């Protein structure tokens, strides 16, 4: 068992039943890697959780903010649009250091793909980049969606910008096998439950685990001994209860015709 438990912001009672200290540098959130079409709308089947490092998210967001600042306040040399190679050179000359994507064994293309609401890749082989909207002044992608996207990419080898919908038109994403070797701390943990309910309610992997549970298991049915030995009157059959009432009235002299 791990000596520390991760921080779970999605569950209000995430500390119940687990006495281990909390490591707030590791965050655990539920994830639904696929949506299923039903007659009443979209349904999220049982899924697992994603654990990621909050420190890695701070590094990724800081570098994404720096790239966005360079693209909005500088002009690329000898070209109209920013290419990934020119943008990387501008980042190194501006910050005087390597980006977090280099330290985590990520290429700049995969790094930018993690922020689809902030950056837009276009051109041949998606080697050109620009802000997704002219009004974007900061990173528009949230913490959980970026780290979920990174964890699922490490699992599947493909960065899925949109959540796939079962039964609908499939959006084919370009494979990115290099992301399998990244050192970024983001992991996908599949659920062990076979239920079809929401993962935030019934997922075994999303609940705190401990060596001894504070809630004992309830038997599925009443034991046989409770039905045969010393059971109260409410557990008796209807015929036996009526027979006892008949004997009680007969002994008191009321007669057998009394209902």
Q: What is the DSSP track for 125-173?
A: GG-EEEESSTT--S--S-HHHHHHHHHHHHHHSB--SS--EETS-----
Percent of the chain with pLDDT over 70: 64
- Over the chain, what is the mean pLDDT? 75
Confidence band (pLDDT; 50, 70, 90) for 39?
confident
**More confident: 248 or 235:** 248
**What does the alpha-carbon distance between residue 159 and residue 149 come to, in Å, rounded to a whole number?**
7
| pLDDT higher than threshold 60 for residue 240 | no
Residue 45: both structure tokens together: 């089947």
| pLDDT higher than threshold 70 for residue 109 | yes
Q: What is the pLDDT of residue 182?
A: 93
Cβ-defined contacts of 13-17 (< 8 Å, 24+): 14/208, 15/208, 16/208, 16/214, 17/208, 17/210, 17/213, 17/214, 17/215
Residue 74: both structure tokens together: 């500088």
**What does the alpha-carbon distance between residue 51 and residue 7 come to, in Å, rounded to a whole number?**
9
**What does the alpha-carbon distance between residue 91 and residue 65 come to, in Å, rounded to a whole number?**
11
**What does the alpha-carbon distance between residue 157 and residue 166 come to, in Å, rounded to a whole number?**
19
Specify the range with the lowest mean pLDDT, choosing from 60-64, 82-86, 248-252. Answer: 248-252
DSSP 83: E
3 state SS of 27: strand
Q: What is the pLDDT of residue 120?
A: 94
Question: Order of strands across the sheet with 82-83?
Answer: 82-83, 128-131, 119-122
Closest CA to 171 of 179, 180, 181, 161: 161
**What does the alpha-carbon distance between residue 186 and residue 29 come to, in Å, rounded to a whole number?**
11
For the residues 226-255, what does the mean pLDDT come to? 51
Q: What is the pLDDT of residue 220?
A: 40
What's the pLDDT tens digit per position in 24-34?
A: 999 999 887 66
**What does the alpha-carbon distance between residue 258 and residue 152 come to, in Å, rounded to a whole number?**
74
| pLDDT higher than threshold 90 for residue 42 | no
Q: Cα 238–243–249 angle (5° rounding)?
A: 130
What's the pLDDT tens digit per position in 151-210?
A: 999 988 888 876 666 655 555 566 777 888 999 999 999 876 433 333 333 333 333 333
Which is it for the CA torsion 41, 50, 205, 48, positive or negative?
positive
Residues 6 or more apart in contact with residue 13 via CB below 8 angstroms: none
**More confident: 251 or 54:** 54
Specify the range with the lowest mean pLDDT, choosing from 14-18, 117-121, 168-172, 206-210. Answer: 206-210
Calculate Rg over the CA atoms of the chain.
Answer: 30
What phi-psi label fits residue 28: left (phi over 0), alpha (psi between -120 and 50 degrees) or beta? beta
Closest CA to 115 of 102, 101, 96: 101
């Amino acid at each position: 068992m791990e000596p520390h438990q991760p921080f779970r912001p999605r569950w209000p009672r995430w500390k119940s039943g687990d006495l281990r200290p909390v490591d707030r540098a590791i965050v655990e959130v539920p994830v639904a890697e696929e949506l299923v079409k039903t007659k009443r709308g979209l349904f999220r089947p049982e899924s697992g959780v994603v654990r990621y490092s909050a420190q890695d998210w701070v590094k990724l967001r800081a570098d994404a903010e720096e790239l966005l600042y360079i693209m909005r306040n500088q002009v690329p040399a000898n070209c109209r649009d920013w290419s990934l190679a020119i943008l990387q050179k501008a980042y190194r000359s501006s910050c005087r250091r390597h980006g977090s994507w280099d330290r985590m064994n990520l290429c700049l293309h995969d790094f930018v793909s993690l922020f689809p609401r902030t950056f837009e890749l276009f051109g041949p082989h998606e080697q050109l980049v620009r802000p997704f909207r002219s009004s974007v002044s900061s990173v528009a992608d949230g913490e959980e969606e970026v780290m979920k996207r990174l964890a699922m990419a490490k699992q599947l080898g493909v960065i899925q910008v949109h959540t796939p919908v079962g039964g609908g038109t499939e959006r084919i994403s370009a494979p990115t096998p290099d992301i399998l070797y990244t050192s970024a701390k983001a992991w996908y943990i599949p659920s062990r439950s076979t239920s079809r309910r929401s993962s935030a309610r019934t997922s075994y992997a999303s609940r705190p685990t401990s060596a001894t549970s504070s809630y004992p298991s309830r038997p599925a049915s009443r034991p046989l001994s409770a039905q045969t030995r010393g059971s109260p009157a409410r557990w008796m059959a209807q015929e036996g209860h009526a027979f006892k009432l008949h004997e009680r009235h007969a002994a008191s002299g009321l007669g057998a015709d009394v209902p």
